[in-house]
């Protein structure tokens, strides 16, 4: 297997891959030599004409030829074993994480060849979509993603293609948001995060989060909801908790939340037998508001609050005989 790549001085470098002999081929030394060539600028790693691009192109081409040989039952140059024969090839340009590749997809006369490595009508190899979705999840716009891929991988894509790729996960997201839940959860923790969200303009909006602890002790994110701007609200939580009940949660032992006004009433309206436990972190944070900041770094206030917390826990857990 060989691949040819052009150098900046106009000369060409041919890379030949051979089978390792029984004595063993020092692949690490070969890799080091290629890295040195790339560092000196003689051979580019990615992009058009890059080392990895050409090697990937050659590997894909050989894989397609192997698929065709397995489909027809004979290799190229051998006598045919059946009525179906090779019928040339079709050029195809595919996008990958390391740049665009030009390959030739072999054809057969009966038109029954279905390649697996590069399926029909597929213009993007596995890994490219994941890279686009990862950049989109980090907050980059479609234009920023297109510019980034053009600069780093020398791959020209449009904003509409980025939108098409990111829209592929919407079906999976909807299925995750509507999946059925367990009928009973010992503990559910609910809270809201305030994040900057771009919707025309950038604004602070609450993201409502519900995490459940199952009977086996495992934690599961039950749902994420983006609320309107204006801060966290008990009315919004009422609709979120109602959705959780409709998805199968019939009862909850303890619901841990902050001290938002109206939230305990919303919880008991959905699960009347649930115990509402105010989050200890929020209790400590709210209590420290009445302590001068110069004492925050000292062990006194936090230690006293921890002792009070332990007394409350022991009091609630004691039986009628005080055990």
pLDDT tens figures, 303-320: 566 666 555 555 554 444
pLDDT of 24 over the 60 cut: no
| pLDDT tens column, 209-251 | 999 999 999 999 999 998 888 788 888 999 999 999 999 999 9
For residue 206, give the 3-state DSSP assignment.
Answer: strand
Can you spell out the DSSP letters for 101-149?
A: EEEEEEEETTS----SSS-TT--B-TTHHHHHHHHHHTT--HHHHHHHH
pTM (predicted TM-score): 0.52
- Domains of the chain (ranges; CATH) run 2-126 (no CATH), 130-168 (no CATH), 181-278 (3.30.420)
Which uninterrupted H or E stretch holds 16?
strand 12-16
> Cβ(112)–Cβ(84) under 8 Å?
yes
pLDDT tens-place string over residues 93-130: 887 766 677 888 888 888 888 887 677 777 766 666 66
CA distance 204 to 197: 6
């Amino acid at each position: 297997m060989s691949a040819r790549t052009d150098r900046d001085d106009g000369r060409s470098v041919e890379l030949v891959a051979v089978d390792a002999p029984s004595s063993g081929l020092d692949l690490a030394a070969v890799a080091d030599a290629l890295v040195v060539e790339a560092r000196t600028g003689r051979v580019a790693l990615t992009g058009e004409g890059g080392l990895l691009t050409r090697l990937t192109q050659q590997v894909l081409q050989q894989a397609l030829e192997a698929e065709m040989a397995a489909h027809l039952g004979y290799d190229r140059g051998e006598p045919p074993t059946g009525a179906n024969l090779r019928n040339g090839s079709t050029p195809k340009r595919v996008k990958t994480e390391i740049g665009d590749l030009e390959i030739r997809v072999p054809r057969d006369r009966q038109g029954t060849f279905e390649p697996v490595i590069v399926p029909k009508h597929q213009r993007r190899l596995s890994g490219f979509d994941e890279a686009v979705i990862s950049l989109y999840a980090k907050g980059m716009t479609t234009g920023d993603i297109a510019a980034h891929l053009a600069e780093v991988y020398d791959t020209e894509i449009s904003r509409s293609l980025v939108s098409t790729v990111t829209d592929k996960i919407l079906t999976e997201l909807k299925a995750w948001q509507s999946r059925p839940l367990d009928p009973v959860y010992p503990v559910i923790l609910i809270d809201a995060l305030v994040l900057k969200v771009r919707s025309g303009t950038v604004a602070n909006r609450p993201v409502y989060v519900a995490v459940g602890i199952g009977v086996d002790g495992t934690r599961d994110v039950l749902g994420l909801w983006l609320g309107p701007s204006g801060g966290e609200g008990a009315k919004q939580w009422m609709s979120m908790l109602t959705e959780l009940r409709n998805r199968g949660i019939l009862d909850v032992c303890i619901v841990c939340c902050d001290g938002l006004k109206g939230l305990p009433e919303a919880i008991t309206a959905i699960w009347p037998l649930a115990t509402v436990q105010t989050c200890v972190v929020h209790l400590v944070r709210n209590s420290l508001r009445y302590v001068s900041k110069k004492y925050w770094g000292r062990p006194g206030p936090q230690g006293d609050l921890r002792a009070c917390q332990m007394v409350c826990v022991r009091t609630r857990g004691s039986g009628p005989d005080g055990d």
